[in-house]
C-alpha cells in the first residue's frame, strides 16, 4: 500500500474502500474476500506479460514462466471439478458465456434460459445483453406456487420452443439444480446443455451441491464468488460425455476437438491477451479450494445461510421458496411494505451491504424491486458462524423497521462495526 503514497488521490480512494470492507457486513451474495496469496498474485509482475495464445503455442516470446502458471491453473481446476477440458482465460463470467454461445450457436439461434426477473443472469438471454440481441432468447420461469424450478414446465417450454441451447444456472436461486433432468429435456429436443455455475461453484467443488459437469455439454463459471478467487471466468467440460459438441460426424481426438472449438473462440475469437496475473491468482485460489480447509469453509457458508434464513423467517420475513440449499436467499419484502430499493438503502446506512433484487413474478421494476438478495460467502470468510448470523438477522430486522430513523440506523452501524472488529479482515495488511 505504501507504493501508492505518491498518489494521494488514489491512496485516499483505496483507504476509503479498505475502511468500507473492514467495517461493514458484506452480504452481497456474489462477493467474497480473497486470501492474501490471491491478492499478491493479482498484484504481481505477471500483469506485465503479453501471452496471446495458449501454453506452448504463444504469439509472444518470454512466455515460459507464465505458461507454467496457466498449466497449473488448468490442472488444479480440472482436479477440482473432475473436468477433462478447461479454459482459464475468460476475463469474466460474461465472457466465458459469450465464448460458449459463439462456439456452439449461429446468430439468430434460439437459447432457453431462466429469465432475469426470475433469478437468471443478464447473459442468459436478457434483451439488454448480447445474449438477447444476437440470439433468439426465450425463457423459462419458476413455479408460481413454490418458486422452485418446475421441470415439467421447462420441458413443455423446451418442446414448444425447440432451442438449440438450454442454460441451467442462475444468479438468485437459493436451491439446488437437478442437472440430470435438464439433460433429459435437452436430449428430448436435441439441444446443447450448458450450466453457468458461477454462484455455487465453490460449494459444488466440495461436493455439497450437485455437480453439473457429468450432465452438461459445457459448464461456465466465475472464479470470484463462492470459489473465492480473483475476478474472472472459466469454461469446463466433464469427462463423461462422449460427444459434447453433438458433432456426430467428427472423428478423432475428442479433446483436441474441444480445445480447438472453445480455446479458439476465447482467443482469438473474443479476447486478446490473457490476464496472466489473474490466471496465476486463479491457480492460487484453485489450490486453496482443493484443500480440506475449503470444505469446512463451504459447509459453514451453507450452514450460515440456513441459519440466517431461519432467523429471518422467525422474525416474519418471507424467504422465497421457504429457505436455502446454498449460499444465498431472496427476501420478499411485500409483507413488510417496503421496496427492495428502500431496504438496500436502509441496510447500507446501517453498515450492511446487500442488493435489491426482483423476486419471481415481481410487480415492481428492476430499479425498485420487491426484494433483496442476501449471501453468506464473505461474512463466512471473516470467520462468522451461526451465532453471528442470528445477530445479523436482528440487525437487518431493526434496520428495515427503522428505514426513516437516521439515528437508529446510525446506532446499528456502530454495532455492526463493533461486530466486524471481532472478525478482522486482512489484519496483516492493515497493521503493516
Ligand atoms: N453468470 C452468473 C450466473 C452470474 O451471477 C454472473 C455475475 O454475477 C455472471 C455470469 C457474470 O460474471 P461477470 O460479472 O464476471 O461477467
Nearest C-alpha to atom 12 of ligand 1 is from which residue? 93
Q: Where are the alpha helices (DSSP H) in 315-426?
A: 340-349, 377-381, 386-401, 406-421
Please tell me if the CB atom of residue 129 comes closer than 6 angstroms to any atom of ligand 1.
Answer: no
Q: Are 333 and 304 in contact, with CB atoms under 8 Å apart?
A: no
> What is residue 430's predicted lDDT score, i.e. its pLDDT?
72
pLDDT at 245 over 60: no
For residues 258-269, b (16+ Cβ closer than 10 Å) or e, as one string? bbebbbebbbee
pLDDT tens-place string over residues 372-408? 999 999 999 999 999 999 999 999 999 999 999 999 9
Cell of residue 62, nine digits: 518470454
Q: Which long-range contacts (CB under 8 A, 24 or more apart) does 43-48 make?
A: 43/277, 44/277, 44/280, 44/281, 45/277, 46/276, 46/277, 46/279, 46/280, 47/275, 47/276, 47/277
User: What are the residues whose beta carbons fall under 8 Å from the beta carbon of 88, sequence distance 6 or more?
Assistant: 70, 73, 74, 77, 232, 234, 279, 282, 283
For ligand 1, what atom is nearest to the CA of residue 197? 3
At 260, is the pLDDT very low, low, confident or very high (cuts 50, 70, 90)?
Answer: confident
List, in sequence order, every residue forming a beta bridge with 220; answer none if it has no partner: 196, 235
Angstrom distance (rounded) from CA 174 to CA 168:
14
Q: Quote the DSSP letter at residue 105.
A: -
For residue 100, how far is its CA from the centre of ligand 1 (angstroms)? 14
Cα distance between residue 231 and residue 349, in whole Å = 27
pLDDT tens-digit series, residues 27-67: 999 999 999 999 999 999 999 999 999 999 999 999 999 99
- 328 carries a ligand binding annotation: no
> How many angstroms separate the CA atoms of 332 and 340, rounded?
8
DSSP letter, residue 167:
E
Question: 222 C-alpha vs ligand 1 centroid, how far in Å?
Answer: 6
The pLDDT assigned to 251 comes to 44
- Judged against a pLDDT cut of 50, whether residue 247 lies above it is answered with no
Q: How far is CA 413 from the centre of its chain?
A: 28
Q: Which atom of ligand 1 is nearest to the CA of 224?
A: 15
- Interval 176-194: pLDDT, tens: 999 999 999 999 999 999 9
Ligand 1 neighbourhood includes 222 CB (under 6 angstroms): yes
pLDDT average, residue stretch 152-160: 98
Question: Cα Rg for the chain, rounded, in angstroms?
Answer: 22
H/E stretch holding 218 reads: strand 218-222
Q: Which ligand 1 atom minimizes the distance to the CA of 91? A: 15
- Lowest mean pLDDT across 1-5, 278-282, 290-294, 341-345: 1-5
CB 342 within 8 A of CB 334: no
d(CA 2, CA 5): 5
CB 298 within 8 A of CB 206: yes
- Taking the C-alpha atoms of residue 127 and residue 113, their distance in angstroms, rounded to an integer, is 12
For residue 30 and ligand 1, the question of a CB distance below 6 A is answered with yes
Q: How far is CA 197 from CA 49, 101, 209, 254, 384, in A?
A: 30, 15, 11, 24, 25
pLDDT tens across 220-243, in order? 999 999 999 999 999 999 886 655
Mean pLDDT across 345-351 = 98
- CA 172 to ligand 1 center in whole angstroms: 11
Q: Which stretch of 5-9, 259-263, 275-279 has the lowest confidence by average pLDDT?
A: 259-263
Query: CB of 92 closer than 6 A to ligand 1?
Result: yes
Residue 370 in marked binding region:
no
The C-alpha angle 159, 164, 165, rounded to 5 degrees, equals 100
Residues classed as catalytic: 50, 52, 196, 222, 225, 231
Categorise residue 221: left if φ over 0, alpha if ψ from -120 to 50, beta otherwise.
Answer: beta
Q: How many residues does the chain have?
A: 432
What number is the ipTM of this complex? 0.99
pLDDT at 144 over 80: yes
- What are the residues facing 173 on neighbouring strands? none
Q: How far is residue 102 from each of residues 111, 115, 246, measured CA to CA in Å? A: 12, 20, 15
* DSSP-derived 3-state class of residue 25: strand
Pairing of strands 83-87, 136-140: unpaired
**Is there a contact between 261 and 245 (Cβ–Cβ < 8 Å)?**
yes
Cis peptide bond N-terminal to 268, omega within 30: yes
Report the share of the chain in percent with pLDDT over 90.
91
pLDDT of 37 reads 98
The CA distance from 234 to 228, in Å, is 14
**Rounded Cα–Cα distance for residues 196 and 124 (Å):** 9
Using CA atoms of 377, 381, 384, 389 in order, give the dihedral in degrees to the nearest 10: -10
Is any atom of ligand 1 closer than 6 Å to the C-beta of 196? yes
Report, in this order, helix, strand and coil percent for the chain, each rounded to 5. Answer: 50, 15, 40
DSSP state of 321: G
Q: How far is the CA of 241 from the centre of ligand 1 (A)?
A: 25
3-state secondary structure of 146: coil
Q: Is 366 annotated as a binding residue?
A: yes
Specify whether the CB–CB gap between 331 and 308 falls below 8 A. Answer: no
Is 365 marked as a binding-site residue?
Answer: yes
Residue 120 marked as a ligand binder: yes
Pocket test for ligand 1, best of 91, 115, 123 (most atoms within 8 A of CB): 123
Q: What is the pLDDT of residue 249?
A: 39
The pLDDT, as a whole number, for residue 161 is 98
289 phi and psi, to 5 degrees?
-70, -25
Amino acid at each position: 500500500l505504501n507504493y501508492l503514497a505518491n498518489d494521494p488521490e488514489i491512496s485516499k480512494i483505496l483507504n476509503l474502500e479498505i475502511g468500507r470492507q473492514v467495517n461493514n457486513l458484506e452480504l452481497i451474495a456474489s462477493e467474497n474476500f480473497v486470501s492474501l496469496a490471491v491478492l499478491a498474485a493479482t498484484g504481481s509482475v505477471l500483469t506485465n506479460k503479453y501471452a496471446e495464445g495458449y501454453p506452448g503455442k504463444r504469439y509472444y516470446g518470454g512466455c515460459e514462466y507464465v505458461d507454467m502458471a496457466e498449466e497449473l491453473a488448468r490442472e488444479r481446476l480440472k482436479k477440482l471439478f473432475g473436468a477433462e477440458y478447461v479454459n482459464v482465460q475468460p476475463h469474466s463470467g460474461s465472457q466465458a458465456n459469450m465464448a460458449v454461445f459463439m462456439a456452439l450457436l449461429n446468430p439468430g439461434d434460439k437459447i432457453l434460459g431462466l429469465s432475469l426477473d426470475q433469478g437468471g443472469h443478464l447473459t442468459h438471454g436478457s434483451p439488454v445483453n448480447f445474449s438477447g440481441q444476437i440470439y433468439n432468447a426465450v425463457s423459462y420461469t419458476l413455479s408460481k406456487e413454490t418458486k422452485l424450478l418446475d421441470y415439467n414446465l421447462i420441458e413443455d417450454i423446451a418442446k414448444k420452443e425447440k432451442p438449440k441451447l438450454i442454460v441451467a444456472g442462475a444468479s438468485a436461486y437459493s436451491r439446488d439444480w437437478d442437472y440430470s433432468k435438464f439433460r433429459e429435456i435437452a436430449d428430448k429436443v436435441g439441444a446443447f446443455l450448458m450450466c453457468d455455475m458461477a454462484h455455487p461453484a465453490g460449494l459444488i467443488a466440495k461436493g455439497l451441491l450437485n455437480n453439473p459437469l457429468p450432465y452438461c455439454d459445457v459448464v461456465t463459471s466465475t472464479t470470484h464468488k463462492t470459489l473465492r478467487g480473483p475476478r474472472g471466468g472459466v469454461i469446463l467440460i466433464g469427462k463423461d460425455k462422449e460427444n459434447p459438441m453433438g458433432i456426430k460426424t467428427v472423428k478423432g481426438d475428442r479433446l483436441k476437438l474441444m480445445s480447438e472449438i472453445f480455446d479458439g473462440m476465447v482467443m482469438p475469437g473474443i479476447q486478446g491477451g490473457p490476464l496472466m496475473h489473474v490466471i496465476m491468482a486463479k491457480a492460487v485460489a484453485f489450490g486453496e479450494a482443493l484443500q480440506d480447509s475449503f470444505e469446512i469453509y463451504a459447509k459453514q457458508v451453507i450452514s450460515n445461510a440456513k441459519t440466517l434464513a431461519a432467523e429471518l423467517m422467525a422474525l416474519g420475513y418471507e424467504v422465497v421458496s421457504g429457505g436455502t440449499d446454498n449460499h444465498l436467499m431472496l427476501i420478499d419484502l411485500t409483507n413488510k411494505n417496503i421496496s427492495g430499493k428502500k431496504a438496500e438503502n436502509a441496510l447500507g446506512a446501517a453498515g450492511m451491504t446487500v442488493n435489491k433484487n426482483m423476486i419471481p413474478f415481481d410487480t415492481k421494476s428492476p430499479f425498485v424491486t420487491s426484494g433483496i438478495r442476501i449471501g453468506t460467502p464473505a461474512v463466512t470468510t471473516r470467520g462468522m458462524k451461526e451465532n453471528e448470523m442470528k445477530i445479523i438477522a436482528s440487525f437487518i430486522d431493526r434496520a428495515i423497521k427503522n428505514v426513516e430513523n437516521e439515528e437508529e440506523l446510525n446506532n446499528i452501524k456502530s454495532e455492526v462495526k463493533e461486530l466486524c472488529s471481532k472478525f478482522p479482515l486482512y489484519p496483516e495488511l492493515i497493521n503493516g
